[in-house]
Structure 1
Amino acid sequence: MVTFYLAYSAPINPPNATPVLTVPQVWQGLQRKIRFAQEFVSAIVNCEVLEDKDNVVTRKVEFKPGMGPARFAREVVKSFEPAWVEFIQDDGSIIRNLISAGPDGTDQSLSMTYMFEWRYPNVEEGTEEAEKVVAQSKKIAKMAVDMTIDTIRRMVIEGQIH
């Protein structure tokens, strides 16, 4: 079994990005992402909410073939407003989406970081397959962060997020 750890960060409001997103807007976007993951991450094709109670969501997501540790994942999602959301999969994999402030403390310097602890039970460490998993995971991490930010910005522009 391979357990792969990865973190990727990107600025939420890079130069010339409009509108400048605020923490409440990004938080609202992450809450939507919990329930409609396929709108935010192209590696996910379906998201079914099984339970939504007391700020904890249990859901089942379906990944495109080869885009996740398994085709389907059942996740318990916990929100820690306004800083991060934690996705815990049944196999022990954990994904965190973090909103962090920059040095000047303004919305302009916000960053989003995704942290992955992905478990691949059918992949042996040190194999060519493990190397492919690592390379693919890096691409997925960047894509997921960038697409989430872009989707939240689009939803603000379209009035879905205020």
Structure 2
Amino acid sequence: MPTTFNYAFSAPINPPNVTPTLTKPQVWAGLERKMRFAHEFVPVITSCEVLEDKDGVVTRVVKFEEGTGPGMDVAKEVVKGFKPAWVDFEQENGAHIRNVISETDAGLFMTYMFEIRYGKDLKGDEADTEYERMAKHAVDSSIDVMREMVKDGRVQ
């Protein structure tokens, strides 16, 4: 029986002692880039082919390292940007991921929400713990990539 993994994780975009400080427009520009160049942000994605890019909606095919994808090694996705707050990624199998920029009195935060559908049965807390670890890493590593892109000029 297929398994659905639901999880959300938030992290501060500008924790203390990290430079440069990212602005909301820079983070949004990073998410727009992620829509088209997923492999730059997600280490287990080996390629991202954009099939269509029209009116803020990107249809793409992403390939995962063998055995690392959500129950598949290739996924077709429709990605929609909702400037300046979030990006939705929806896969053909109904899986849904949302990347959200939020503002609080404590600063900017990035939240990733996952509704991943696996074609196989996953059991136990160990599987949940592993996917939660991967979800947390996805948020932190995306912020780190955006910061590097600001440093090297790929994101303004």
**TM-score category by the smaller chain?**
over 0.9
Q: Is the 8 A contact 1:10 1:113 kept in 2?
A: yes
Q: Is the 8 A contact 1:97 1:112 kept in 2?
A: yes
Q: Does 1:93 align with 2:75?
A: no
Gaps of 5+ in 2: none
Normalised to the residue count of structure 1, the TM-score between the two structures is 0.90
Does the aligned pair in 2 maintain the 1:43–1:140 contact within 8 Å? no
Q: TM (normalized to structure 2)? A: 0.93
Gap regions ≥5 residues in structure 1: none
Deviations 1:65-103 (A, max 9, x none): 232212111000000010000000000000000000012
Aligned pair partner of 1:149 in 133, 143, 149:
143
Instruction: Answer with 92-101 or 58-67: which moved more.
Output: 58-67
Query: 1:121 offset after TM fit, Å?
Result: 2.4
Question: Residue type matched to 2:84 in 1?
Answer: P
CA deviation string 1:3-49 (max 9, x = no partner): 11001111100001111101100000011111111111112111110
| Matched residue type, 1:149 | I
Moved over 4 A (4+): none
Partners of 1:5 and 1:84 lie apart in 2 by 18
Aligned residue pairs: how many?
Answer: 154
Percent of matched pairs sharing the same residue: 55
